[in-house]
Chain A
Amino acid sequence: MLPAGPAVSGLRLSGYFTAESFTGVLSGCRIPEYPGEALIIKLKPAADFNFMQVLNRGVFMDHRKLSPAEVYQGCDVLQLSFETTDELQALHDLSQGVHQPRAVQALKFGVGIRQHGYNIFALGPSGMGKHTFARQYLSRKFEDYPYPADWCYVNNFETPGRPRLLHLPRAWGNSLAQDMEKIIQEVPNALKGAFESEEYQNRVQAIQQEFKDYQQGVFEDLQEKARQRNLSLLKTPSGLSFAPVQNGEIMSPEEFQKLDEDRRKQLEKDMEEMQKESERMFQRFPAWQRDMRQKLEELNHEVAQYALGPMINEIREKSQHNPDVSSFLDAVQEDIIKNVQTILEGDKHKAQEQKQQHPTAMGQSGGREQIMRKYRVNVLVDNSRAQGAPVIYEDNPTYANLVGRVEHQSMMGALITDFNLVKQGALHRANGGALILDAYKVLTNPGAWDGLKRALISQQIKIESLAEMFSLISTISLEPEPVPMDIKVILVGSPLIYYLLNEFDPEFSKLFKVAADFDTRMDWDGEHQELFVRFMAGVAQQEKLKPFHKTGVSRLLEHSARKVQDQKKLSTHIQGLTDLMREADYWAGENGRENVVEADVEQAINASVFRSDLMREHIQEAIQRDIMLIDTQGWQTGQINGLSVMGLGDFMFGRPHRITSRIRLGKGEVIDIEREAKLSGPIHSKGVLILSGFLGARYAPDRPLSLSASLVFEQSYSGIEGDSASSAELFCLLSAISGVPINQALAVTGSVNQHGRIQAIGGVNEKIEGFFDICRERGLNRRQGVLIPESNTAHLMLRRDVVQAVETGEFNIYPVSSVDQGMEILTGLPAGEPDENGEYPGDSINGLVQKRLRELSDKRMQFASGREQGGES
């Protein structure tokens, strides 16, 4: 007597029962409200129906089980139109091979927009190939960008502590540096020739003699005037004086006193006049000296100009009268002229240094080379070989490696420096293009983050030491002229870093306005599969691996889907893919194959798992030896197999847990022993608290929930987090309340909400496999299986052996969407539908729960009433 029509199309009677077991429909049927919900028809048992007999036999109704095709999305090898990857047009560009629409759009936007602050943060888990992706994308993009300029530092002849910056067209830097080296080599000889010429020496002597003659004339004049006044000119330690003379000798004071008064006064007057005369004459000395120096300078200028002019002008012509270069050349010429004597004496200095065996500063050459260093050109950035705008990746972003540094050399115990020791940083190299940096490394290198931000804010690269930046020291050092900066910085990092920076660094959001979010997965469709397979071919070529046979490629694709736990997606975790391809290539070699086939990939996967699954093996062994108690057959009240997943690095595996529940009269509380013992995380605690809400709302909406229930993960000694066991806990609780036993051949995963809906969880494949492994060890009996949230069905990419067991019916996977559905599968009893008064059928699970809760409520009221009466008496 089954109702006809589509509503019952999903219902199948169990093989254990016949229609004759039932006399008719007990209370109608409940039409499913949402996809996947079980269709429940309440049948009236026949008079001779023995409920316990049913329990001992097995499930009451046969709910929908997943087919092999639903638990694994295989790749159709026949659809692959190649034999090996060698036949494919390999893709080496990750940004083309892997579909990352958000990242591509963000990069395109970030690079395209020239305004300040639109730098890019590429976020995603590690191993996604974010660096490579960004570098390859940007390199392709920047090929057509204008060539960046060369940057050089030259001496600032006015303020040597502030080296001057030269901004030159591409490839000019080295050329100018070479020309200046030639000047450095040739100038001393040219000057020597000019300044040692007889003509020059004669002119110098003439100028000097002029001054000497003047000086001599002054003294002769003074001496003569003194002599006429009977005075003698005496040289004192710091000048001269006049003394009265008598008979050619300096007069003594006694002799002076013997003179008549007029004579004495005359001598005193004469002495005073001579002193004033001397004073007047000497006042002219500085002006004469200045005059002489100026004449010498003019002469030097004239001679040096004659010697240097042609060489300097040659460079000037070559640089097409570039104003910066011309200004630098003018300064060089002027300085050489000022320092002619020092340059000419350079060899002498060198000889003296060698004689005194002093270490030389700034290299070992000393002497003239030391003097001529200041005319060099320090090419900070040479873009002569650039192909488009630069895309630089700095893998060690220390502060100095980013913004450059001023090096020092030891000279006789002191550290000295000059503009030649200014060294470039990554920001200099990337100027005009893009700089890719690892966010974690930038943040963990002292000062690097602040230095980078400062450069981005000021749009200038200012070289200063860390100690100076933090004002730890204030020594005299170089302050090179800042370099104007035009760079797109691409920070690559994890989402955690991105969100932390966003939250806690107020400057971050102003400087990195573009987030390039890298997805961990992409759609598995024909178009993306083709590009992805070509990218695999590229990896095989680049890594010099054996060609991958299409069966191998197929297995790689399936594994990729398994990695993201989705039948319709592929993993974009490039490092994992590359590692697996390398390992499969190794096994293919071990197996003596020319191409990598499916078996090699499988072997690589298994070997990789084997290398990591020691802990899993230990846990499974403990379960097999009943050290950890897990039942896989029989029926138990208030006990269920929950499933959890453990992660050890990259390796994840599932394991069953025994969850038990006990109830007693109480005040409506569900005690989570894990939480009480502080062994559970907040999400797990939340899941348990939801159970109270569900119980109260469904079974005791109008009376106090009068039980005290306890839930525990048995033999769990470490923390538990997540709500994926909340459905198992609810089933266990309902079993304990109703007294209906739960089939121990089944395990459960899934979270539950307050309305009794089963919700998706993570790690579904590992959880199923964890329970499957235990069951297989103990022997599969066709009754074992796992209840999973129906919404997790699309995530199933189960191991081959599990798929095989599902195919043969030795292992079952039940997609469930509601608590009722789950309870029916677990207990074999109908869940029961409430009537218009909210009353559930007495023989249904819900009815039994409701009945038990009412009993507890009544007892509680009786207990309370007894206490009141007792109180009154």
Chain B
Amino acid sequence: MTRDKAFAELKRILVPLDASEHSLEVLKAAVELAAAQGAELEGLFVEDADLFRLCEFPMAREVSFWGVSVRSMERSETERQLRIVARRLQRALEDMSRGHNVPCKFRVTRGGVPREVLDASKEADLTIMGRIGWSRLCGQRMGSTTQAIVRQGRGLVLIMDKEARFQPPLQVLFTGSRLSEATLLLALELSRKKGFSLVILMAAHAQENRKDMQDRVQEIVSGQGAQAGVHLLRELNPQGIRKAVAAHGTGPLFLPCEDPHLHGESLQQLINSLNNPVFLVRDR
């Protein structure tokens, strides 16, 4: 068995940035991961087209958090401020990347933020998203852009919390599918590079499948010259997965998103219920 070509190498990692504290924390983790993988890091800042649309309203006003002042919104001023934010983010990206010898580039686009990020993620081998940015202020568990990526995104996506850290063990869901085998291989490689232990959450619904899946897992793991623990899942649904993950701590979780339970709303709920960094592995 060889890994899916799409996940063979992580050469290009995309990090959408919005200057929130959360976003910068995620950038830090992204730089470390890019350094471990030898990948190039691409920072993306999207100038929200809604803001420019709002500027066209004569009654549009901006309320400052700390200055307690209300200003009318001018397009030129908004553009200027967004450029300042973009420069700051670019500098942060370059400084952090330089510290880890990671090649990087920075891009600014304008449009709807979720759309722009979705488009950009198609070109990347991995997209790393903060679970939540400014939306956190409004009590949301997941930001609108991340929601869009979770629901509509393709390829490899990593969702991280601000406080989340890469720490052992890695956990990977194995369903026996081709995609889950590719996910297992990806997790094995990362565990080798990081020196982390690996726990395989094996979803064997029927007794008769279990032996075959165990053999297959054994074959893949030993084929990579690695070792891994196995955790048998009673049922393949968000609750079952959450329970199993909670038993092994807050290390990164690799999810092959092909099962109907791991799509759309239920996938979002599962991610919201976990504090772990989550790798979403999907076909392109």
Contacts and interface: CB of A to CB of B under 8 A. Distances in A.
Nearest to A270: B59
Nearest to B66: A285
B63 A250 contact: no
A241 B73 contact: yes
Contact of B62 (A236, A252, A253, A283): A236
Contact of A238 (B64, B68, B134, B139): B64
Interface centre among B66, B82, B137 (most CB of A within 10 A): B137
B107 to A, nearest CB: 18
A235 B20 CA distance: 11
Interface in A1-16: none
Contacts of B134: 235
Contacts, number: 91
A216 interface: yes
A205 to B, nearest CB: 12
Interface residues of B, number: 30
Interface in B55-98: 56-57, 59-68, 70, 73, 78, 81-82, 84-85
A233 B138 contact: yes
Contacts of A242: 61
Given A223-B138, A241-B73, A243-B57, A250 B50 contact: yes
Contacts of B63: 239-241, 275, 278-279, 282
Given A215-B137, A250-B50, A279-B70, A239 B64 contact: yes
Nearest to A286: B66
A243 B64 contact: no
A236 B50 contact: no
A238 B53 contact: no
A253 B137 contact: no
Please report whether the interface of chain B is mostly helix, strand, loop or mixed according to DSSP.
mixed
A237 B57 contact: no
Given A243-B54, A250-B54, A282 B64 contact: yes
Contacts of B116: none
Interface residues of A, number: 34
B65 A237 contact: no
Contacts of B56: 252-253
A241 B81 contact: no
Contacts of A508: none
A472 B57 CA distance: 62
Interface centre among A216, A234, A272, A279 (most CB of B within 10 A): A234
A426 interface: no
A275 B61 CA distance: 7
Contacts of A216: 136-139
B164 interface: no
B230 interface: no
B230 to A, nearest CB: 34
Interface in A229-263: 232-244, 250-253, 256
Given A219-B139, A240-B65, A275 B70 contact: yes
Contacts of B138: 216, 219-220, 223, 233
Given A233-B138, A236-B81, 5 more contacts: A216-B136, A238-B64, A240-B63, A242-B61, A253-B57
22 contacts: A219-B138, A223-B139, A234-B48, A236-B51, A236-B73, A237-B78, A237-B81, A238-B62, A239-B62, A239-B63, A239-B64, A239-B67, A241-B51, A241-B61, A241-B73, A243-B54, A244-B57, A250-B50, A271-B59, A275-B61, A282-B66, A285-B66
Across the A-B interface, the 8 shortest Cβ-Cβ residue pairs:
A237-B81, A239-B64, A219-B137, A278-B63, A235-B134, A250-B50, A253-B56, A220-B139
Interface of B: 19, 48, 50-51, 53-54, 56-57, 59-68, 70, 73, 78, 81-82, 84-85, 134, 136-139
